[in-house]
Structure 1
Amino acid sequence: MKRLLSLAVVSVIGFGLSGCGEKEDKKHSKSIATSKPYKDFVESDFYWDKRTEPYKKILVNQVNNIRKNNPKCNNVQADVIMSNSKGTKENPVFFVMCGSGADIHNVFFTKKEAEAQIVPKQKKALSETVATQICSDKIKSNASRPESVNVHNLLGKAYTAHSNGNATVILNFDSQNGLGIKIENQARCVIQPNGKIDIWFQKR
């Protein structure tokens, strides 16, 4: 039962909340909040490094395109980062950070998409019903006595859909340890659109 009460992450995949997957160099970032009508970014608004500088023109145009056509990107970090883990030498992948607060997320696009001014499709979070079931199933699979798990699906539940397509589900549940003693716990699940999940446990 120790692993059920652990505060450590039981990670099904090596992918964090944001769902973001990659981090930005914060020392150069500046957030630009926008409202319609939009004033287009220019090259001087951005920090450029040796990897992004050769693509300045198409990247600025693409960020302006995303900001105008993606309603979840009204707040944009004025930095475009080249991904270290995605893309190829011929068709590198870039990302820009959109949103604010808990809803900040990365929007990825390729060099070819930038050249063609194609706005990346926004992933949609799983429904509350589906996400809750995935979280509940994961709770039971991590329990030492799965048959004793009682998930509170009505009063002890919270659901949030995030702009990056992830869903967060918080569930209260009871279970029994090896001695049959009732223990009250809480699980926090972060579920990607493809159903992959990260889960945390703590005592209530």
Structure 2
Amino acid sequence: MKRFTLFCALIKAPVYAYDKFDIQVCNAIKTNHARNQCLSELGIPKHIADNALKSAPTNTPITKSQILNVNGIAPYIDDVVIMLNRLKQTNTRCQQKLDPINAGISQSRSTPGNPSFFVQCGVINDIEVVRFTLDDIKATNAITASKHLDKNNAMAACRNRLKNAMNTYSNASIPVFGVKDYSQFSGGNVVVTYDFEATNAVGHNTKQQIKCYFNGAKLELSEIKKR
């Protein structure tokens, strides 16, 4: 009888102990199919992850107990809380949704005396990683939502990047070309694609392609490859 009672108690015990970071990782995925696959592989029920996405009402202040205390963020949690509450009031994408569990500290972007932080804002399929520093917090700087760079300016910036890149090749020349693709993505991200031909010093033509990646008005990365 005692064994049976113990067995029943074990059945009633909680089966899952969900890791908040695992939920955060899956919820950060922008496509529903990939997000659901992530949840499935980690054994996290979808309703648990959906509940984690729900933000507190705008008029409910964020507290430091809602922030994951990992990766050295502990000394700055009070400052981060100040900025997260500010973002909920002033940043249009953070007004849509801001989950404190997605806040963290960036080791790669931090500098001595001025750590860099991030938080994900926005709804599924339109999420932006909003970044801010300790100096931004202290100076009460406003961090606005990124806007997509318009097509003409994005094309011009990508052309300039291409011309500068081609200058590194001996006698390389670029014929007249047109934009192949201009695409907008979530968080103010834009990708411009050009197909072109480069001619080297001995007259050999190479078909190539450049992709320019923008975050707001900033050209963050470009890639050139053969077609």
- Do the structures match in fold with TM over 0.5? yes
Tell me what 1:52 maps to.
73
Structure 1 residue corresponding to 2:91, chosen from 47, 64, 70: 70
Please, what TM-score do these two structures have when normalized by structure 2?
0.55
Runs ≥4 residues deviating over 6 A: none
Q: Which has the higher contact order (CA 8 A, sep 6+)?
A: 1
- Residue by residue over 1:150-193, the C-alpha shift from the partner in whole angstroms, topping out at 9 and shown as x without a partner, is 3223xx23143663x65421112233355545443321012466
- Contact 1:82/1:92 (<8 A) preserved: yes
Q: Provide the identity percentage.
A: 20
- Contact 2:148/2:217 (<8 A) preserved: no
Structure 2 residue corresponding to 1:105, chosen from 123, 129, 152: 129
Tell me: CA distance 1:189–1:179, structure 2 relative to 1, closer, same or farther (3 Å): same
Structure 1, unmatched stretches of 5+, are 1-25
Q: Which structure's residues are more often strand, by fraction?
A: 1
Letter in 1 for 2:137: E
**In the alignment, structure 1 residue 151 sits paired with structure 2 residue 160:** no
- Contact 1:176/1:183 (<8 A) preserved: yes
How many residues are paired up? 174
Larger radius of gyration: 2
Q: Which structure's residues are more often helix, by fraction?
A: 2
Structure 2, unmatched stretches of 5+, are 1-20, 28-51
Output the aligned Cα RMSD: 3.9
Please, what TM-score do these two structures have when normalized by structure 1?
0.60
Tell me: CA distance 1:81–1:176, structure 2 relative to 1, closer, same or farther (3 Å): same
**In the alignment, structure 1 residue 129 sits paired with structure 2 residue 155:** no
Whole-Å separation in 2 of the counterparts to 1:198 and 1:76? 28
Task: Report the alpha carbon displacement of residue 93 of structure 1 after superposing the two structures with TM.
Answer: 4.1
Task: Report the alpha carbon displacement of residue 82 of structure 1 after superposing the two structures with TM.
Answer: 3.3
- Contact 1:52/1:80 (<8 A) preserved: no
Letter in 2 for 1:65: R
- Contact 1:48/1:79 (<8 A) preserved: no
Tell me what 2:35 maps to.
none
Tell me: CA distance 1:95–1:122, structure 2 relative to 1, closer, same or farther (3 Å): same
